[in-house]
Structure 1
């Protein structure tokens, strides 16, 4: 306990006052998830709190006027007395809007995590089991400490930095950029929820062979035995992007990052309380989340490629990893090579124009 308190005190001397509590909370969360991973032998402890921590940090910054000046109990939030007075006394409409969007994001991710069983203390992300087999046990423990426990907790904290900046901007009212970005974020979450549901619907059919007619709208796809035999989903949004859920996840946090950056008040921020972060951090949340998902996706695809070497390689050639607008380009290149019909038949069960947006996403999804 003493070393943790010493680290907290050291960090307090070099950070803005509004970061005192989040940094303290993050250190304890990091230590807890790491210790639990050692005790249980299950390194998915961070995965179980991933759905909540960005919301907790964002809520702290958006609700700074709500918290007491001193913490009544250990780890309960508080607003230090030396936080910039306007921020400690007035709510930021922009930060509150961002909090609302992050709460919706939390409910979506928590629901998807719950139905997949990942809240169970016995469940572990399948990728960690694969990684264990590829590297020595001692090195896996190094990865567990440095990346799984420490780095991921830092990333979860960084996702709330835009709300921190927005809280200090103190806009008198929401701007056009706020309404535009808020609308885009909601649309993005709808697409991400749809991608989640399509994947879950496919995996359920793959395991049971039964089509659930009560799926969410957008996921009512008439799966076939050929789809199950292929082993991975290639219909709906997945006909346009190999990872539409990952694309939407990155896009959501890019949008959140842009809220304070596109606001009329940026960069008109109070210099003293934000001097430590304004020069470096505004773009950090978007950059780190995209770096994380790119590396994670590459690893995930290496696993899929080892399981389905022929069909998944064809999928990589036919469908873009993230950006849907590139998928027609990949199809055109395959057409030039005379391979498109063969690849389409392998992936979609037809050599027709299966990637038509309306036919794939809406007609097949709702019939």
Structure 2
């Protein structure tokens, strides 16, 4: 009996979802579906690779479990913010749409949102393909990196919780006619980093890559591409987010001057 090729299956899933994402976005004019699938598709890909090994490979099972934990946390946070409500959309997509003309937006959402972003989700999980191709038993370093992954997951959840509670206080203050002095959070983990949740997110995928690379016994593999692209995209997204915050909040420039962008670090003296 011919074994199912998990990479081929994953590529077929990617192609189907990319076409569906483009069709839905073109029809409704909203890019919300990409955000709604972001935390779900990597889980599917992870278990495709684990299932292709009959759920008998400890490394593939570990990778699938870790990416599931990542996806469950992200799905919860996205749902908490109302991401699954009708008409919900990441504010950054609206900002990009307003900066482009109709033709530019058509190609942007067709190529970047529907194709590239979906491809990135698959690329991120491809260290599991490395692990599938090079079966190797788990060692102490694997368990150490898995523990680091979970620690980063807790860190991201903590930062998201702090941000959520701040936004709720901000909403209540505005409703009471007493807006907060600063419209952005600068306490807790955000005292050490302007984007602590994003730092944890990036580092989790680097750990995920390492867990796949360990199976080969070499530090570099072509499956590093997804992690590199996510890192570059995440850093780039902070530029847009901070330009919006800087334009809205007069105190943001001082916060940016004293606080590290990503790496948690004690704030600089004023």
Q: Structure 2 length as normaliser, TM-score?
A: 0.92
SS for the counterpart of 1:201 is helix
| Corresponding position: 1:21 with 2:21 | no
1:104-253 residue pairs with structure 2 within 5 A? 104-171=69-136, 173-209=137-173, 228-253=180-205
Deviation at 1:199, TM superposition (A): 0.3
Larger RCO, structure (CA 8 Å, separation 6 or more): 2
| Cα-Cα RMSD | 2.0
1:6 alignment partner in structure 2? none
2:257 alignment partner in structure 1? 317
* 2:209–2:227 Cα contact (<8 Å) kept: yes
- Runs of 4 or more consecutive aligned structure 1 residues displaced over 2 Å after TM superposition: none
* 1:62–1:164 Cα contact (<8 Å) kept: no
2:52 alignment partner in structure 1? 64
* 1:91–1:167 Cα contact (<8 Å) kept: no
1 or 2, which has the higher helix percentage? Answer: 2
For residues 174 and 28 of structure 1, the distance between their equivalents in structure 2, rounded to whole angstroms, comes to: 34
1:49 alignment partner in structure 2? 37
For residues 124 and 225 of structure 2, the distance between their equivalents in structure 1, rounded to whole angstroms, comes to: 9
Question: What per-residue deviation string (whole Å, max 9, x for no partner) do you get for residues 31-69 of structure 1?
Answer: 001110111111121111001001111110111034xxx
Q: Structure 1 length as normaliser, TM-score?
A: 0.68
Question: What per-residue deviation string (whole Å, max 9, x for no partner) do you get for residues 135-180 of structure 1?
Answer: 2121112111111111100000011101111122222x31121111
* 2:63–2:128 Cα contact (<8 Å) kept: yes
| Corresponding position: 1:305 with 2:246 | yes
SS for the counterpart of 1:229 is coil
Deviation at 1:280, TM superposition (A): 5.6
Is the radius of gyration larger for structure 1 or structure 2? Answer: 1
Distance change in 2, residues 1:64/1:322 (3 Å): same
* 2:6–2:48 Cα contact (<8 Å) kept: no
1:91 alignment partner in structure 2? 56
> How many equivalent pairs are there?
264
* Residue among 207, 217, 222 paired with 1:266: 217
Structure 1 gap segments, 5+ residues each: 1-15, 67-89, 211-224, 268-277, 341-367
